[in-house]
Amino acid sequence: MYPGSHLTSSPDKPAVIRPATGESVTYAELMDRSTRIANHLRALGMRPGDTVAVVSDNDLRVFDVYWAAVRSGMYVTVVNHHLTAPEVNYILADCGAGIVFAGAAVGQAVAEADQVLADPERRVAWGGPVAGFADYDAVLAAASPEPLTDQPRGTDMLYSSGTTGRPKGIRPPLPEGQVDQVPDTVSAVFGPVYGFGADTVYLSPAPVYHAAPLRYCAMVNSLGGTVVLMDRFEPREALRLIGEHHITHSQWVPTMFVRMLKLPEEVRTSYDVSSLKVAIHAAAPCPEQVKRKMIEWWGPVIQEYYAATEAAGVTLIGPEDALERPGSVGRAALGTLHICDENGDDLPTGEVGVVYFERDQVPFEYHNDPEKTRAARHPRHEFWATTGDLGYLDEDGFLYLTDRKAFMIISGGVNIYPQEAENVLVNHPAVYDVAVIGIPDEDLGEVARGYVQLAASEDPSETLAEELIGYTTDHLAAYKAPRSIEFVEDLPRTPTGKLVKGELRKRVLAGD
């Protein structure tokens, strides 16, 4: 199914509501706008397999463009609007974007997009003027409203930074069939499990450039429900919206749970959350105490899944199993789990190894990076894929994760790849050597801290630490910069010069 399937039964039903502005879009409006955009894309000569890029805050019009691309057999790449203009340009070029749509509220992120997309017809902005961009409303008005007779299903192609710091496009194969005949993977897997349907009212408190918010909102559109799209998470406002809109389904990261739990009890209990049927969390490990407290507060509606943007596989765990098996992320719901040693051999129950999912097809490739794609495959099984996580299985097939992929930092559900900051900081004249790692944080799970060995002529100071953080944010999006800097005498490296982050982490946690 897709939004057009609901035009006859509920054309005036809100498909998406944006409480911050009071705006909403009905199913009839969503289909008219996406039809016009799809016709505009075809008029530009774009065809199935091409890529449509979006750089925006949580604006309703993101879904106009999303569905225009998906019902045209194209890829849609929604880009993190916190990135700098050069970082955005790298993604626009790498994904081969044939057009970019942008929100004026984040216009600085696309300030240099003309360097990649020279044709002004291929740069479109909404919400106000953006220099060098065509006006979105004017483009819609000029586009044909003629219904589409051929609608091959497209899909998303989202970007996740690699350990080298360069973002990598996660490119799944295009589905075969028409958009109204072939369900997307999220709807097929999660829709029945969590009871999504036409009566769903789904609260999305996270940015839609992340995979899960984008895909879950699209699933709700597909099934005829209503999305309530927050501009940004704020604990009291989220709780207020649950009661006001009678939210049935929602999705969170553990940090959001923490911040809601930190509200005074009389504040928390003043909000009505009785409409909630399912509250899903993912993206980062949830502390056992936090999950237990949320179940005590909201009842047995807390559900967890483990997956990744790559969609290599999925595990699920409900509230009862979570309480009985604290720390587990559940059993496989998409793919077959394997825990393998360094040679790719299956390990016995209880032993820690690399987590692989076995599928009946290759689920993804890293765009323009065959080496990274090969590294994500099992050495002997073409259809086994991993994102590099470590874990073990218990005797009943429940998965427990023991480590993160390659020292990636997950801070409040946001992935931070420390080498990007390291590559910037090492160029500062005061820096001799540098490493960035995640340190535990009660609120965010982890925060990034830089460990800096200074040049011989430099002396450590708070002023210099602040300068180094500012130097990083001059070159990268602010969330990628370390929250703090600690000066050290040296950093652990092998004789070949390789930084041993595991040893550094041990030092830090031991208090050295």
Query: According to the model, what pLDDT value does residue 167 have?
Result: 83
Architecture of domain 409-510: 2-Layer Sandwich (3.30)
Tens digits of residue pLDDT in 455-468: 888 999 999 999 99
What is the CB-side half-sphere exposure of residue 384 using CA atoms within 13 A? 16
d(CA 92, CA 78): 10
Task: Find the largest Cα–Cα distance for the chain.
Answer: 74
The segment(s) of the chain belonging to CATH 3.40.50.980 are 185-296+310-331
The segment(s) of the chain belonging to CATH 3.40.50.12780 are 14-182
The segment(s) of the chain belonging to CATH 3.30.300.30 are 409-510
Tens digits of residue pLDDT in 54-100: 999 999 999 999 999 999 999 999 999 989 999 999 999 999 999 99
Q: Which residues pair with 203 in a beta bridge?
A: 228, 250
Tell me the Ramachandran region of residue 436: left when phi exceeds 0, alpha when psi lies from -120 to 50, beta otherwise: beta
d(CA 456, CA 476): 27
Q: Tell me, which fold does domain 185-296+310-331 have in CATH? A: Rossmann fold (3.40.50)
Q: Tell me, which fold does domain 335-403 have in CATH? A: Luciferase; domain 3 (2.30.38)
pTM of the model as a whole: 0.83
**Which whole number is the average pLDDT over 308-315?**
91
Q: Which residue has the higher pLDDT, 405 or 445?
A: 445
**Which whole number is the average pLDDT over 490-509?**
74
d(CA 493, CA 402): 24
The segment(s) of the chain belonging to CATH 2.30.38.10 are 335-403
For residue 414, what is the enclosing H or E element?
strand 414-416
Backbone angles phi, psi at 405, to 5 degrees: -75, 120
Nearest by Cα to 488 from 420, 437, 445, 418: 437
d(CA 436, CA 434): 7
Tens digits of residue pLDDT in 252-290: 988 788 889 888 899 999 999 999 999 999 877 677 778
Tokens 């070159």 identify what position?
A: 475
Nearest by Cα to 205 from 233, 172, 235, 236: 233
| Helix (H), strand (E) counts: the chain | 15, 28
Assess contact for 413 and 253: CB atoms under 8 A: yes
Work out the angle at residue 294's Cα, subtended by the Cα atoms of residues 290 and 295, and round it to the nearest 5 degrees: 120
* DSSP, res 261: H
**Which whole number is the average pLDDT over 398-414?**
79
Which tokens sit at 360? 């009946």
| Cα 417 to the center of its chain, rounded Å | 14
Architecture of domain 14-182: 3-Layer(aba) Sandwich (3.40)
Tens digits of residue pLDDT in 133-164: 999 999 999 999 999 999 999 999 999 754 34
**Which whole number is the average pLDDT over 194-204?**
98
Strands (E), 131-289: 134-135, 155-156, 158-161, 167-171, 201-204, 226-229, 249-252, 278-281
Q: Which residues contact 457 (CB under 8 A, 6 or more apart)?
A: none
Q: Collapse the DSSP code of 221 into the 3-class scheme (helix H, G, I; strand E, B; otherwise coil) and give the result.
A: helix
